[in-house]
Chain A
Amino acid sequence: MSDPAGHSGSPTAASIAAERTRIRSRSSVLSAGEPMIWLTGGSLMLCLVMVVLLLGYIFKQGMMTFWPGPVTHIVTEDGRQYLGEIAREEEFDFTATAAWSMWTALEQRIQATADEKAKAELTAQRDTLLAKTVELLSPELDPALADLENDGAVDAFRIASSSIDAVHRSLSALELPSEAQPRQVRDNLTKLLALQTLFNRSPDQVDLDGAIGRLENAQQHLAAVQKSVELMFYIGGDRDFARVRHSRTAVKQLRDRLAAVQQVLQDRRARPEVRKALQQAGDRFLHVLNDLAGSTDPGVAHTAQNLRDAVRVRHRRRLLRTGNYRLSKTHFDWVADFEIATSAAPPWAMVVERREWGRFYGFPQSFTQKTRRPPSDEEHQLQSVQTFLARHGRLLKNEDARAIEAAKKQVQEKLQAVRSHRSQDFLAKVKSDDAPVQRALLEGGQAVPFDRVGADQNVIGALRISEGRAQAWEQWTRHHPVVQTLFDREYVLRRSEIGRVNHDQEQSRLSVRQLELDTDVNLLETAMQVLTLQEQINALDRQMEQAAQAVEYARTHFQADAKTASLASRLLVRFRQANAGNRNDRVRQIGQLEAELKARLGDEAEDGMTVLQSFWRTQQRTAEQTREINEQIEALDRQQARYEIEMEAIGNGPNRNRATKTTLALADIVRAYPANRFSRGEKWNVYVARWGEFLADDPREANSEGGVFPAIVGTVVMTLILAMVVVPFGALAALYLREYAKAGPIVSVIRIAINNLAGVPSIVFGVFGMIFFCYMVGSFIDGGPRAASIPVLPKMWWFGILIGAAVAELLGVIAAYANRGGGKHDNQSTPWLLNAALAVPLMAVWIAAAGIWLRWIAGAESVVGVAVPLMVLGMAGVFFWMLYSSTFCEKNDPRSFFSRLVYMVGLATAIATVAVVIFLVATTPFFDGFYEARLVDGNPTFGKGALIWASLTLALLTLPVVIVATEEALSAVPNSMREGSYACGASKWQTIQRIVLPRAMPGIMTGMILAMARGAGEVAPLMLVGAVKLAPKLPVSWNPPFGVDRSFMHLGFHIYDVGFQSPNSEAAKPMVFTTTFLLIGIVAVLNVTAIALRTRLRRKFVASQF
């Protein structure tokens, strides 16, 4: 069965199998690529871990910010008190230096105290503190001393020795001039060289005193040498200046090195003495160390100073947010663990978030509610009679002064009687309430118990005081929401109502400015004078009316005393005469001013006066409106001011040991809560409310508190405008590159340039945006070419170029028409010339349309002069283009020299026309800007940082992203689909419109998502083009230009500002994380929306084919 020969000659089956196994096992690792699984998986893991860590950290920190932490009350060993929230804890190096400064601080306080008892207390505290610090630090003393032995003497010797060599070498090479006294230099050098014998020994074996002496001598020699070298350096000597400079450096270096050696040796000499002193010092080693540090022996002093920092221990300390800035002049304070005597969480400790001055920590003492006595009509009338008499009594100077005095007195008495009567009624009514403590508020402002109010005293109000912590808190919870509602109402009045009135006022003022610019006459100042006079007349009329009322009242109520009544009547007659005189004066002045204005306006008086009349009407109306709103605001203020809470703050004053009572108005408080008493649920309420405030409110306290609503609006609006601008432009550009442009060097260069654009640092875009958009385009829109510092063409020239361009375009199009068919032969792709012929007129039409639109929103007349000619130019182009394209299909040979020539000429004409249109717009003599009046007022509208410029700058920045993404998407559309469409008889544009674009839409959306994410997160360029720390208004508005001209807040910039520009950086720190968290959240929301949209599109258009 088996063949022995075969066995011996060929390998057995078993050995073959073994060989195979061996080969397989060897190759498996290399060829199967097992390690790659680990490598790739590991990379992914690492990336994920880092991303998750980052997000997790931001999430944790961001979510923590608003959680109401407990309030801690800390009393230190030396009697300081702290009440506040613990911001963070950390370990730090507690050194003997720090311990000593604490000691001296206490010592100074003891010296400063006059009171014996306090002195004794402080001394006791000082001793406790000393004992604590010594206990902490003394174990560290011996290691620190041992550490000093490693003083690096050997190295210092070696380095100094080589430095001497260097000096010697470099000086020997110099040609020393006679002024440098070469002989002395050489002598000194020899002496320095002798030092090397010292340095060659081990530092442990040198005689310290002798060596120090020698070093001092050597320093003197070296000083002499240095003097010579300096002389050469400044007056010259050696021909080679570089060598002199080199020697000078070497000498200076040697001086430092010798000093270092000297220091080391001195320290060595001093060390036994220091050690001995410290060992004897025991508990007082801090003092001894301090004495030694002040020693005259430089070695001792140096060693002791080193020791003071070297004796250190790791210790914990905590940062307390103590608030109460006005009392303690600080927001935060460090407290080390060893200082703490007691630490507690007092149940009634309250956190008060104020609108200004940061947080307040304290204990509620009492709650006060003021009630004003409503003034009666009678009282009011009497008061006005009194005022009338007092103010205008002197008009009857010639008559009986006594009569007036008597009348005054009579009115006064009557008033007093009415008041005390009313006061008693009021008190009786208030008394029936069941408040625990009540006080009457007298006219002078003092508060007295009810029973001490005299019968004839004028009570203007009553106070209800709830004393005690629980009661104060209870009252607080009841009244604070009311005050908050009032505050919100006032806020609306202050922001939107006043804003609206101000806008009207501003507009009417600008209309006069515009009139000034149109007529070249000064008007505004005089118009304002008229306004002032008019207001004075109104005031006089009002006075007159009041006086008449008062006198009427007096006449009816003082019938018993006919004398007073008649006096008042006579006074009124006099007053009326005087008033009429004043009034007539002013009416006459107004007449003069108006005549003057008319004269100045000359021919345009009629129209001009209409504008001025409307200006005066609007100003008077808005002034009236402002007065009304202010009255409402004052009323709201008064209502809010009724409530006050009294708090006790502890740990104030320079020694942080004083308790102070402070009254806080409820209107100034955003939120207050006794953190330690709160249950988890109540804390959640605070937490949620704080998030609500963060998302919906304006910032306060230099952005470190309050909300970021304006920043959210700014970010979102900016990103949306950015997307609206960049997506169409980017997508169209990519469409041209991918679908129309013929592949070639120009397209490659353009593509490379676009990719490079993506790599340009964003700040460069910021600079470009600032210079181009803000200063050029923006200024141009504001005030025309002059404002943008562009030289203006003379009118004849401008028209000349315009007509020239029109003729050139005409000729170009005619040439193209004559050569119709120039370009590619298949009309699948639209030829260049057709594009140009289409693009140029379209551009002109766009510009003209934009101009007319702007003219509508901004109301500038001058733009018509620009828009109309350009519009005509554009329309002519469109007409010729239509003619051209309708006959395009008939063609001749595109390869002939003539058709190429015409093609190039047409292309050149097209490009030139674009340039000319831009040039004509830029240098137009007919355009003075849309916002010239505001510009003259010193308020540029678009010629500064603005939301629209920020969006455009970022659009430019993100353009490559969109172009690249769109190109990818377009090239991912299978060619078979295009061919299928063509085979159905579709034209190129129909194919693109119906097949390619829908299919590529998800990819374009991806580009948009990437662009939005990039744009929303960009900060650096925004700083230059409109992002600000605090924007007074949101960048959205109903009035043209719809707020896009405003500077705005942005979350990214807000993070930078809060984190690095805040005066209270410690308090702002948590806000950095919260804002970051929010920014990430907003970008995520924008992206998820876009991704959802994309997924829908993708499901519709790009489902798998098989």
Chain B
Amino acid sequence: MSQTGIDTPNGAEGESRLEAIVRGEQVQTEVHEAIRHEQIILDVKDFNLWYGDKQALFDNNLRVSRGKVTALIGPSGCGKSTLLRSVNRINDLIDNVRITGDMILSGQTIYDPSVDVIELRKRMGMVFQKPNPFPMSIYENVVYALRIDGERNRALLDETCERALRGAALWDEVKDRLHDSALGMSGGQQQRLCIARAIAAEPDVLLMDEPCSALDPIATGKIEDLIAELRGEYTILIVTHNMQQASRSSDYTVFMYLGRLVEYGPTSDLFERPHLRDTEDYITGRFG
């Protein structure tokens, strides 16, 4: 189906897949051909997730490309954040979560019982919807991941701090007050601090859960610039509600609906020539 879909004009497909999803039918993901040539870092395989009795993710299959920015879009409650939070197993903290299927990060399985979750999380950075700096100094926030590893080498910590803050485009603003409380910064700064904290440990994957939803346009702009800079250096998986943001800053985009992946392809293709009418409807704001 996907092979035929490449050449199909926008919305040529007759029946809406979304209606099928609402009816509870199995729907296959529309995957663009371009993705098959990419190098895979994260492979989600037949992933299902339940909150208690309620299923939130259905048979998700997703191959995330190394060094690219992949955006997850979709209406509220479609499972974007759940999928993102499953990658570093933050969902484990919630009682009654049950999963089947698996994810494989650089050839290593994530959900095997023998996996040390803590080691796993150290390989990923995560940025949350609301900035969540820790109640400590800016410096300590950035080097937190190193601290918990028991790193005491002052020079190394200093270097990491500067590198991470420069990476998060925050160094010039805070270099004179590194030892002030992080809670005294502005919202945008706090969010960039969280990004700095996430990249300080040089993760394989950077997970961003609507990082700009609590920020004003100027701060949002800065974060987007930052994502653009990080592109290539890190693999970024970003959840966003903002179509412009997705189109501006991502290489690939996944459209999700009710726990299912609907269409997955290069951002430019998805936004300009989506294979599915549903995707186009959503992107152009006709529903959702």
Contact = CB atoms under 8 A, between A and B. Distances in A.
Contacts of A994: 134, 136, 144, 147-148
B16 interface: no
Contacts of A983: 88, 90, 121, 124-126, 128, 198, 207
A743 B95 CA distance: 10
A994 B150 CA distance: 13
A890 B116 CA distance: 9
A981 B144 contact: yes
A758 interface: no
Contacts of A892: 113
Contacts of B125: 983-984
A1105 B183 contact: yes
10 closest pairs, A vs B, by CB?
Answer: A985-B122, A983-B126, A1101-B135, A1103-B183, A976-B132, A980-B132, A985-B121, A826-B92, A984-B145, A986-B148
Contact of B136 (A889, A982, A998): A998
B183 A985 contact: no
**Could you say which of A821, A982, A998, A1104 has the most chain B C-beta atoms within 10 Å of its C-beta?**
A982
A1082 B92 CA distance: 49
Nearest to B146: A984
A985 B92 contact: no
B92 A828 contact: yes
Contacts of A825: 113
Interface of A: 742-743, 821, 825-828, 889-892, 974, 976-987, 990, 994-995, 998-999, 1099-1106
A986 B190 CA distance: 20
Contacts, number: 105
B93 interface: yes
Contacts of B136: 994, 998, 1101
B9 interface: no
A977 B148 contact: no
B93 A1102 contact: no
Given A976-B128, A985-B121, A985-B148, A1100 B92 contact: no
Contact of A985 (B95, B114, B201, B207): B201
Nearest to B126: A983
Given A980-B197, A981-B144, 7 more contacts: A889-B114, A974-B132, A979-B132, A983-B124, A985-B149, A999-B135, A1100-B181
A826 B117 contact: yes
B184 interface: yes
B194 interface: yes
A825 B89 CA distance: 12
A982 B121 contact: yes
A1102 B135 contact: yes
10 contacts: A827-B117, A828-B117, A889-B116, A890-B113, A977-B135, A983-B128, A984-B125, A984-B197, A985-B122, A994-B144
B231 interface: no
B43 to A, nearest CB: 21
Interface in B191-212: 194, 197-198, 201, 207
**Could you say which of B116, B126, B144, B190 has the most chain A C-beta atoms within 10 Å of its C-beta?**
B144
A177 B126 CA distance: 102
Nearest to B129: A976
Interface in B88-147: 88-90, 92-93, 95, 113-114, 116-119, 121-122, 124-126, 128, 130-136, 144-145, 147
Contact of A984 (B95, B135, B148, B181): B148
A1106 B131 CA distance: 9
A1087 B197 CA distance: 38
Contacts of B133: 1105
A828 B117 CA distance: 9
**Could you say which of B114, B116, B125, B183 has the most chain A C-beta atoms within 10 Å of its C-beta?**
B183
B187 interface: yes
A611 to B, nearest CB: 54
B192 to A, nearest CB: 14
A984 B194 CA distance: 10
B44 to A, nearest CB: 19
Nearest to B131: A1105
A987 B118 contact: yes
B194 A828 contact: no
A968 to B, nearest CB: 17
Contact of A995 (B113, B116, B131, B134): B134
Nearest to B125: A983
A1103 B181 contact: yes
**Could you say which of A742, A826, A974, A978 has the most chain B C-beta atoms within 10 Å of its C-beta?**
A826
Nearest to A1000: B135
A985 B201 CA distance: 10
Contacts of B181: 1099-1101, 1103
Nearest to A976: B132
Nearest to A974: B132
Contacts of B113: 821, 825, 890-892
B118 A985 contact: yes
B145 to A, nearest CB: 4
A1104 B183 contact: yes
A458 to B, nearest CB: 86
A742 B121 CA distance: 23
Contacts of B118: 985-987
A894 B124 CA distance: 27
A980 B121 contact: no
A466 to B, nearest CB: 72
B128 A995 contact: no
Contacts of B132: 974, 976-977, 979-980
B130 A984 contact: no
A447 B184 CA distance: 86
A828 B183 CA distance: 27
Contacts of B190: 1105
Nearest to A826: B92
A354 B22 CA distance: 97
Nearest to A889: B116
B249 to A, nearest CB: 21
B114 A984 contact: no
A982 B187 CA distance: 21
A1105 B116 CA distance: 33
A1103 B122 contact: no
Contacts of A974: 132
B216 to A, nearest CB: 11
B90 A982 contact: yes
Contacts of B131: 1105
B184 A1103 contact: yes
Nearest to B89: A826
Contacts of B148: 984-987, 990, 994
B128 A984 contact: no
Contact of A980 (B92, B128, B149, B183): B128
Contacts of A1105: 131, 133, 183, 190
A124 to B, nearest CB: 88
A828 B88 CA distance: 13
**Could you say which of B93, B135, B197, B201 has the most chain A C-beta atoms within 10 Å of its C-beta?**
B135
B121 to A, nearest CB: 4
Nearest to A993: B148
A1100 B135 contact: yes
A295 B198 CA distance: 107
Interface string B169-185: 00000000000010110
A1100 B122 CA distance: 27
A298 to B, nearest CB: 88
B130 to A, nearest CB: 6
B147 to A, nearest CB: 8
A977 B144 CA distance: 12
Nearest to B149: A985
**Could you say which of B90, B113, B197, B201 has the most chain A C-beta atoms within 10 Å of its C-beta?**
B113
A764 to B, nearest CB: 38
Contacts of A1104: 183
Contact of B194 (A826, A980, A986): A980
Contacts of A891: 113
A986 B143 CA distance: 12
Contacts of A981: 134, 144
A983 B122 CA distance: 8
